[in-house]
Amino acid sequence: MNLPLIPAPATTTTHDGTFVVTDGLGVVVQSPELAGLAERFVADVQVDAGIALFPGSAGITVLIDSDGIDGLAPAAGLRADGNASADERYGLEITSEGVRVWGPTAEAVHRGLTSLRQLISTAAADGTAVLPAARVIDGPRFAWRGLSLDVVRAFHGPDEVRRVIDMLALYKLNVLHLHLTDDQGWRVEVPSRPLLTEVGAAGAIGDRPGGYYTRAELSELVQYAADRYVTVVPEIDMPGHTSAVFKAYPELGPDEIRSVDLGNGDSLQLNTLDPGRDETWAFVEDVLDAVIPQFPQSAYVHIGGDETWGMSDEDHVAFVEKAAALVRARGKKVVGWQEIARADLDSADVVQYWLDLDVDSMVQNPDLPTPPEDLLPILVEGLRKAKYDAPKALEQGTKLIVSPVTWLYFDRPHADASSDPDQEEARKRLGLEFYGAASIEHGVSWDPVDGLPGIDSADQIAGVEAAIWCESITSPEDLELMLLPRLPGAAEKAWSHQTATDWPEYSARLAQQSPAWRNRTWTWLRSTEVDWR
């Protein structure tokens, strides 16, 4: 019998018998450092399943132990918090006498309690959950498992970001990559550059409201995530995607601002920071000095480096190399979009691989929408360069975060129909047609190693990260509709050691997640391809 867990665990053994979880059942911790985890688990089960557990009395036992986990390989890749000694492998055992959750670290125990949460919520009915007797030994395939969240094109306030963090935590994803700056806005405070938030944060795409996170709000978000073993990684996108910077500080921009109208209320900016100007680097240092302390758990700073339209290759390389050096000088490691591989990198840097598109086949595909005439040659040139980025990164000894458009860009339209008529209307306007629609099944029909050209081994991969860009997203409901039920599929690919996912079996596990989503008031696509509970 397959347990209704996402991601699928490494090993599962089921037995005859059951254990009943009901109101008043106790949670006992045998190590004091696990008390906070147990309290959060109790609170989560109350929300997910409507069952009121009680800390301190017998029923579910939680402890630090390494029983049985040594036979499971440690995670490949890199962690966003830089903790080389971290271990997320855990054990979960259910018998007719009770439940035991263990692991060698508090984080491992948290992952085990997350699996138990899922089992309780999927089995809950009328205040009771009957769990099958089973033993699970599990751990992640990759150490970096995340979501890149665009908070620029549509600003998502702290409450909505917390809801996203809760989604990540429920599916054992451990990185929230916040895309904090772009052409349409600036979302993080830099006290020495107040106009970044006074002017640069004022808007978003079209007439959407802007906004930014105060230092207090970011501190609370970063801690909220850390309490759930999610590391928040900041991205300051540069030297391109800087129109909000030039709006706030025109003296940093070029003499002539150039753009291409995209026909959707947005425009593509062809302007970049100039690496040959001293004021550029004074600005970059001010930003790094202000932003880095706001993300103390992150070992990395994401410097962007992508889509530097109109910039010479030489200037792009010069900018990336100096920006990376400034990050390293501040004790942080460098991560950037795949275009940074065109510069000389340190082997400790990380390259985020996203452009797996074949430009020649795209140009020849009559079914894809045609970009504006002025944009087409720019896109073609950029995509043709991109095919060399991943090989260059690997040649330099850097690892890749796998974020391919084809599989992990959640701004693709939903191909699955919804059983909800209102969602069918939303489905017509959500997502970028340029990428083509993708089904929920499509999202789990690949493998991070076997499915991508140029990658031969898990040793080349730092981790797996989905991305949600918000050009078409206008509300929290839109955001959640595009994230769910795709996010569990990304988690399946990032955590599970199964390289092939059987759709009927996965769909059955996915269907049983919906009671917890409903109880948390999350919006999700009611795909007609899934037999939701």
- SS3 sequence, 379-418? HHHHHHHHCCHHHHHHHCCCEEEECCHHHHECCCCECCCE
CB 466 within 8 A of CB 486: yes
Structure confidence at residue 364 as a pLDDT band (50, 70, 90)? low
Mean model confidence pLDDT for the chain: 94
Q: Which of 164-173, 260-269, 283-292 has the lowest mean pLDDT?
A: 260-269
The predicted pLDDT at position 382 comes to 75
Residue spans of the domains in the chain: they are 11-138, 144-519
**Angle formed by the axes of helices 215-227 and 158-170, nearest 10°:** 20
pLDDT for the residue numbered 117: 98
Instruction: Select the more confidently predicted residue: 434 or 442.
Output: 442
Q: Which residues contact residue 271 at a Cβ distance below 8 angstroms, ignoring those fewer than 6 apart? A: 240, 242, 243, 246, 253, 254, 257, 258, 259, 310
Query: Is pLDDT above 80 for 488?
Result: yes
d(CA 147, CA 163): 13
State residue 204's pLDDT score: 96
Question: For 217-240, what is the mean pLDDT?
Answer: 98
CA 155 to chain centre: 17
Question: Which of 181-185, 223-227, 261-265, 348-352 has the lowest average pLDDT?
Answer: 261-265
> Is residue 155 classed as helix, strand or coil in its secondary structure?
coil
Residue 436 CA to residue 288 CA, distance in Å, equals: 37
pLDDT at 323: 98
pLDDT recorded at residue 198: 98
Nearest alpha carbon to residue 44 among 147, 118, 130, 124: 118
Which of these ranges, 51-65, 164-178, 341-355, has the smallest mean pLDDT?
51-65
**Residue range 474-492: mean pLDDT, rounded:** 98
Q: Report, as an integer, the average pLDDT of 360-382.
A: 64
Question: For residue 175, is pLDDT > 80?
Answer: yes
Only one residue has tokens 């259910």, namely: 94
Q: Which CATH number fits domain 11-138: 3.40.30.10, 3.60.20.10, 1.10.600.10, 3.30.379.10?
A: 3.30.379.10
Whether 276 shows a pLDDT value over 90: the answer reads yes
* Range 455-478 average pLDDT: 97
pLDDT at position 270 = 82
- Non-local CB neighbours of 453 within 8 Å, separated by 6+ positions: 356, 390
φ, ψ dihedrals at 75, nearest 5° = -65, 140
CATH class of 144-519: alpha beta
What number is the average pLDDT over the span 295-322?
96
Catalytically active residues, by annotation: 307
Are 280 and 174 contacting, i.e. CB atoms less than 8 angstroms apart?
no
Name the residue among 128, 110, 132, 111 with its Cα closest to residue 50.
Answer: 128
Q: Count of CB atoms within 10 A of residue 249's CB? A: 17
Q: By 3-state DSSP, what share of the chain in percent is helix, strand and coil, each rounded to 5?
A: 35, 20, 40
